[in-house]
Structure 1
């Protein structure tokens, strides 16, 4: 089988949304998906969008994706890549697709002088954790992610004067 990693095109929007829904289902978070094809097209392919997507294809069939954007490390004084989502179809796992997507990001990060590539993983996702450790990634156990969303975000923003 021939594996190819390529940048996503606007014509991939339905594929990207399908991967997002499959990932959400795997993570038991389907109820949180409100993205639409129109919203994704605007946010991923709109002017000055920081979001980028790689598509993995086996024999020209999409089998996975990586959605990412740039962040910045003040300590390193360099930008980095934040991998928001990585998903590979279950029937094609174990064939190097996920590793190839991550390697493509690593190559890009090194070529662009980035200081790091980072991502989050659910603590119960042992297969993913084992895979990430196998490529040399390490957890940041001393950090806790905080998030402000939905009504709490609006309420907090509304309190700013």
Structure 2
């Protein structure tokens, strides 16, 4: 017999003591999603990375059954940043125990997440759903979210490098270039970088309301608190030290792998595409990930990534995965408010 949502009266932020139950539920999730892995992070790692007072990589929402105080549903999420939408939330996992499906718990968890986004002045929630999971696709559609993949035809290949060894093989491939250098963004780069941002959005064929331009102080504030990182490629010529490319990325977390990074944007000016700029930008991110004990590096494929993907196939094919069987979903500010109001 199923459980009605009236019996599940507590949705709250996860605490360290919930981690054991989360790992147990994620093992159910692996079976349900038919994932090609049986690996799950260990308990101490989940507790240390999720509940570090100085730098927590992710957050949890948990649903508890009031009858026996057992956790029967959860969401794992973290903050993200996009040049298109600004700061928001990435929902990496939403899972409800089998006996509680159809009880309204999934919507209640999503509503709680929408409230978290609103409280932090985030404007959207993004996530992916596997293409075969028709019940979940229908659930998200009826909730008012936008299926970006269907609406805009965006079915990007999602690549990832898994494991410390694969990342090290790529990071060790980094080499100095006589024409350009790759380094961290500096405040004085802003005006040039902002022009590269505009060019990147044109390349990605993204329309954005330029009546509200990206402000330098806001961008730098988000960078300073660690919401994301930016590396730039700069020419070495004494007469021309222009920026010719950039990569923007942020921390993420996967329960079957652990801590890593996601590359949100990468762009190189057309006239420099043949100089291995994209390769070196991506390799710099791999090096950064290794230095910060990350275990995975993911990105959505564009033509700029082709050379890097080819390099990875030569260097560490066993550590490269193509995960392209999913739909991308988006809840904007308007739909977040609707979802919150529906649950009140």
Tell me the TM-score normalised to structure 1 length.
Answer: 0.91
Please, what is the CA RMSD of the aligned residues? 1.6
Contact persistence 2:79–2:88 (CA under 8 A): yes
Greater alpha carbon shift after TM alignment, 136-145 vs 147-156 = 147-156
Q: Tell me what 2:23 maps to.
A: 17
Question: Highest CA radius of gyration, 1 or 2?
Answer: 2
1:127: how far off? Answer: 0.8
For 2:61, what is the secondary structure of its paired residue? strand
Q: Tell me what 1:6 maps to.
A: 12
1:125: how far off? Answer: 0.6
Q: Identify the match of residue 51 of structure 1 among 58, 75, 78.
A: 58
CA distance in 2, matches of 1:139, 1:33: 29
Aligned length: 160
Q: Tell me what 1:31 maps to.
A: 37
Query: Are 1:114 and 2:129 an aligned pair?
Result: no
In structure 2, relative to structure 1, the CA distance for the partners of 1:112 and 1:140 (3 Å cut) is same
Alpha-carbon deviations, 1:87-130, whole Å to 9, x = none?
A: 00011011111111111111111222212101111110111111
Contact persistence 1:80–1:115 (CA under 8 A): yes
Contact persistence 1:10–1:45 (CA under 8 A): yes
Alpha-carbon deviations, 1:8-66, whole Å to 9, x = none?
A: 11111110111111111111126242311111111111231131001101213211000
Contact persistence 2:8–2:63 (CA under 8 A): no
Which sections of structure 2, spanning at least 5 residues, go unmatched? 1-6, 176-344
In structure 2, relative to structure 1, the CA distance for the partners of 1:2 and 1:19 (3 Å cut) is closer
CA distance in 2, matches of 1:134, 1:62: 25
Q: Tell me what 1:148 maps to.
A: 161
CA distance in 1, matches of 2:36, 2:44: 19
Contact persistence 2:27–2:38 (CA under 8 A): no
| Consecutive aligned runs of 4 or more in structure 1 exceeding 6 Å deviation | none
For 2:148, what is the secondary structure of its paired residue? coil
Contact persistence 1:21–1:30 (CA under 8 A): no
Query: Are 1:71 and 2:80 an aligned pair?
Result: yes
RCO higher in structure (CA 8 A, sep ≥6): 2
CA distance in 2, matches of 1:158, 1:139: 39
Q: Tell me what 1:159 maps to.
A: 173
Tell me the TM-score normalised to structure 2 length.
Answer: 0.44
Greater alpha carbon shift after TM alignment, 24-33 vs 86-95 = 24-33
CA distance in 2, matches of 1:34, 1:111: 31
